Structure 1
Amino acid sequence: MQDTGWLGWIWFAGIMMIVMGAFNAIEGLVGLFRGEYYVATGEQVIVFDLTTWGWITLLLGVLVALAGGALLSGAAWARVVTVMLAAVNAVAQLAFVSVHPLWSTIVITLCVVVIWAVVVHGNEAAATLESSSR
């Protein structure tokens, strides 16, 4: 068994969380400062008004990026937090899917891949880190 393969999935998940967090933060800032960028017709639904949605997305983006950084540090608690925040982020993107369907679909897909990487390969990465510290 090659150690770098298992550790590579966790690194991938951590980096993707940082990237998704940055993109979410940018989405939130655009919602706050350039609300006219996001135009929803009567048939499209955004659960909150744009300012509230912008703040929620900005905060979620910061938390997702911080979880990604913690995951890269090897903290065991970061795996649980990463899975929880990736799931919340995927659900939050559902509120935005009618406004930007391609973007939301990409983010939801990345969230699912991150959850898979952490759940399937998290214990192997922890064992790898333990054995390398000895």
Structure 2
Amino acid sequence: MHTTDSLTFFTPESSDSLGALFFDTGISCGIPSPAEDFSQQRLSLDKELVKNSETTFFARVSGQSMIGAGLEDNDLLVIDRGLEPQNNRIAVCFLDGEFTVKRLRVDNGEVWLKPENPNYPIIKITQDNKFLIWGIVTNVIKKV
């Protein structure tokens, strides 16, 4: 585990567990339906969320700069370091000694880190910055 001001990182652990019970019926958000015809199976969130365990990490969000993208304080991010950075993807970046999570904007060879909260400034990356795109966010896990 590694902690910075904005993110706390975790490494996924391999598990031989069969996963949690999964009811493959769909759950109605409207009128309840009888639960007579449901099928039960096991579901592994690692298999659903982690495509490459060697390049995937988890990090807990701290802060409000990405609330417009649905990333809120204490959410758990699934980050894949093996994915190619692309315009408009949400990325975990190492910028001038600190980790941050922002939306990538790439245009004509220039890179910006765009927050999804108007109270935070857009950051233009220059040659003066120590900058590394550390990984791409693939999923967010929320508590309700």
> TM-score category by the smaller chain?
under 0.3
Greater share of strand: 2
TM-score (norm 2): 0.22
State the structure with bigger RCO (CA 8 A, min sep 6), 1 or 2.
1
TM-score (norm 1): 0.23
Greater share of helix: 1
